[in-house]
Amino acid sequence: MNKIDDTSWSRDAIAADLERAIHEHRLPPGTKLGEDDLAEAYGISRTIVRAALLALSHRHLVQLRRNRGAFVAQPTPREAREVFEARSLLEPRTAHSAALRMTEADLALLNANIRDEHAALDAGENGRALLLSGQFHLEVARIADQTTIEAVISELISRSSLIIALYWRRRAALCETQAHHALLDAFARKDGAAAEELMKNHLLDLVASLDLRNVAPPPASLREALQR
């Protein structure tokens, strides 16, 4: 395997790169994250790799198993329900607050995000589309200017990516484009009540698109996933 062409990898950079690969579903749930393989791929020491994996475990993206190593986390059906229940409690009110604070610059940013999401879907890059979908929700939380809630939503969205990777049964598990467009229209009108209701219904639709009895196929190899 060719090493990743960069010698400046820090713990945080490794963690961020692996997190992106997880969100884009290049590293599906259950993938073994071997320290030796990662150290070779990034051209760094196992000590840095170990620190990055520990950081990701704190975000519930990686599971550290005694005497077995590190694996991309595999949320249970119960965890999946709890994550989306938490999102349904937080994000509708956040959307309401964001609508009242929305600026033209914010609208332009969200609109660009939707365009990029469309392009990814059209190109068949479902993992990237999912990442962009999550970023849309994170931007809404940022615009609402509720720092503590934004941090919680960020973790919930990260965990949602794993849940969708394991349990999605149809393309609608990616945020449906019309749902984001409808939210954008409500934001443009500064209609907080409409934005709140739309976000609530949107999250319910996401849950309905999951089959919590289903388990994804075995993960691809780590070596293939980390190739650029």
pLDDT of residue 5: 47
CA separation for the pair 185, 149 (Å, rounded): 23
pLDDT of residue 224: 65
- Asked if residue 174 has pLDDT above 70, the reply is no
Provide mean pLDDT across the span 31-49.
Answer: 92
Give 5-15 pLDDT, tens digit per residue. Answer: 445 688 899 99
CA angle 207, 211, 214 (to 5 degrees): 145
DSSP annotation of 59 reads T
Share the mean pLDDT of the chain.
87
Give 93-122 pLDDT, tens digit per residue. Answer: 999 999 999 999 999 999 999 999 989 888
pLDDT of residue 55: 94
Confidence of residue 32 (pLDDT cuts 50, 70, 90): very high
**40 phi/psi in degrees, rounded to 5:** -70, -40
Higher pLDDT, 5 or 146: 146
Least confident of 84-88, 135-139, 219-223: 219-223
Provide mean pLDDT across the span 8-28.
Answer: 87
Confidence of residue 139 (pLDDT cuts 50, 70, 90): very high
Nearest to 206 by CA among 172, 179, 159: 172
Provide mean pLDDT across the span 175-203.
Answer: 92
Higher pLDDT, 64 or 169: 64
Question: For the chain, how far is it from start to end, CA to CA, in angstroms?
Answer: 11
Q: Show the domains of the chain with their CATH numbers.
A: 11-74+216-225 (1.10.10.10), 77-208 (1.20.120.530)
Higher pLDDT, 190 or 212: 190
Confidence of residue 2 (pLDDT cuts 50, 70, 90): very low
Residue 27 makes CB contacts below 8 A (sequence gap 6+) with 18, 21, 33, 72, 219, 222, 225
pLDDT of residue 1: 40
Confidence of residue 167 (pLDDT cuts 50, 70, 90): confident
pLDDT of residue 106: 98
